[in-house]
A and B are shown apart, each in its own frame.
Chain A
């Protein structure tokens, strides 16, 4: 229902906008679905990235690999469900793979997601077979694992970062102005929340190898540090938008939550110790979610602020 909304009662003769009507449309996305998907997809990509690099770079840590695969599979599955549910016509989700459109971040994402999903699926299959006692062990198995992980590495990196590009490739000023930064930021956040998930798992059901947790904590600290830095830098281009100066309280709270979680998480990760690691993991995961909500929400508000578009499109 269109109608007289608050703020519309300005004399059109002097209005800086057209009766306060936004010149562009805010996203049609259902509440929570898209940020949720960004978050879960990020966890999947982050977890995959971490365990793959770990596997590729050093000694085999089968336990970590196994956990990473399950996390990736679970998060990716959940994220995909959210993504499909958000479609206006969910039954047509496969239409995303109808064609290849490199200029469409959404289409690229669909293909990337498919590739990643394939790798994750394959990995999970191998993992399940192995856990059931099949698929052997030893050098061949290790090579297979590495191959699979390597296969999923590029799509994984993509899935972790493209969602930021997806947002910045729109006409929403708060996203568009941060183009070049949202991708990296989301990549960092994906990594940190992926690691965070593994950290939490490790604390709930301790790893057999004591070094795993410590290594993860170090990684968590690094990832959060990068995320914090990117977060700070990436906000600059959009800071001049008028919608920023009218940021409502809940959005400010969200911002504090996202940044605060990352900062505290970083401290906890550095501190070490079981509780601290658990806290670091939880904070990283929660901070990742808050960040996705913050970015989508600020974009929605920016789309609804005509002056943002004037600032962006001039």
Chain B
């Protein structure tokens, strides 16, 4: 489709002319798209992340697909898992967003004995434990002290100017150490394909152009909110207070301290991508108290060497020549 033919063939008419690229889209002008979609301006030097409010998630999985679309990630060959609507099951090198579904419904009452209400929850459904179907869109947490990054031996995993944790694909040598370091099972080495580690980039490329990350942008119900972490935390606090006033046992997972009733992520210094949950973390397949593996490294190395030396000395003692 050549430029000339395009102009000649489809004479421009009101509203028909294509827009320039969205990045310097004249209608938006100096405004970034993120200001429209997330109400936030993206600038280097600030901490950005996601606040995922699971009470707003409708389990549509738009985030999963939007992520794959933007990052051009291939689909995986999956088999049906007919337990609930989650056939994704876990993160992988090509799945960076994952929506979990947790069916929590009471056992069937005996119908003959009571033809009375069940599944009826008054005005606040999730206040009642009788029937609920929890949905939660999980993602890389972009931890304040990221175990994957601390584990990375090549400096491939870096912290960007947006405080996100990013794997430099031109550096990664696929050692796989980040994979075992991650306390959330996020990062994975694509052993079958390029042999490198992959995970959510917080849409680093988009942030550079003032675009909201694809998943958060696509979320129809704003369950995934993108923004400056401190502001998101403030929003989250208000939200938790509001839900608690309504009788919902909401708490934050990943605030790094405040409102972390059922968990403690302080070892990681909090998570740039944090969540509002209404059940125990394990229900969402999250560790209650994620640890920071590198806490053990220095100590371990020193202990190891000292022990080795001690062993050596001990053994060396036995090596003395037979009595002369």
Q: Do A and B come from one complex?
A: yes
Do A313 and B290 contact each other (CB < 8 Å), given the known contacts A22-B185, A53-B319, A171-B147?
yes
Closest residue of chain B to A225, judged by CB?
Answer: B314
Is the Cβ of B184 less than 8 Å from the Cβ of A161?
Answer: no
Least CB distance from A161 to B in Å reads 3
Least CB distance from A23 to B in Å reads 5
Is the Cβ of B303 less than 8 Å from the Cβ of A170?
Answer: no
Is the Cβ of A168 less than 8 Å from the Cβ of B285?
Answer: no
B105 touches A (CB below 8 Å)? yes
B78 touches A (CB below 8 Å)? yes
Do A54 and B319 contact each other (CB < 8 Å), given the known contacts A88-B195, A104-B177, A180-B296?
yes
User: Chain A 83-101 against B: per-residue CB contact (8 Å), 1 yes, 0 no?
Assistant: 0001111101101101101
A160 CA to B308 CA, complexed, in Å: 7
Do A19 and B89 contact each other (CB < 8 Å), given the known contacts A24-B182, A187-B307?
yes
Is the Cβ of A95 less than 8 Å from the Cβ of B173?
Answer: yes
Residues in B neighbouring A32, C-beta threshold 8 A: none
Residues in A neighbouring B307, C-beta threshold 8 A: 161, 183-184, 187-188, 230
Instruction: Name which of A119-127, A135-143, A215-223, A244-252 contacts chain B.
Output: A215-223
Number of residue pairs across A and B with beta carbons under 8 Å? 317
Closest residue of chain B to A165, judged by CB?
Answer: B300
A67 CA to B132 CA, complexed, in Å: 69
Question: How many residues in B have their beta carbons less than 8 Å from beta carbons of A?
Answer: 89
Interface SS of A by simple majority: helix
A204 touches B (CB below 8 Å)? no
Is the Cβ of A169 less than 8 Å from the Cβ of B293?
Answer: yes
A39 touches B (CB below 8 Å)? no
Contact with B287, one of A161, A226, A314 (Cβ below 8 angstroms):
A314
Least CB distance from B118 to A in Å reads 15
Contact with B177, one of A8, A106, A176, A314 (Cβ below 8 angstroms):
A106
A29 CA to B294 CA, complexed, in Å: 20
B152 touches A (CB below 8 Å)? yes
B1 touches A (CB below 8 Å)? no
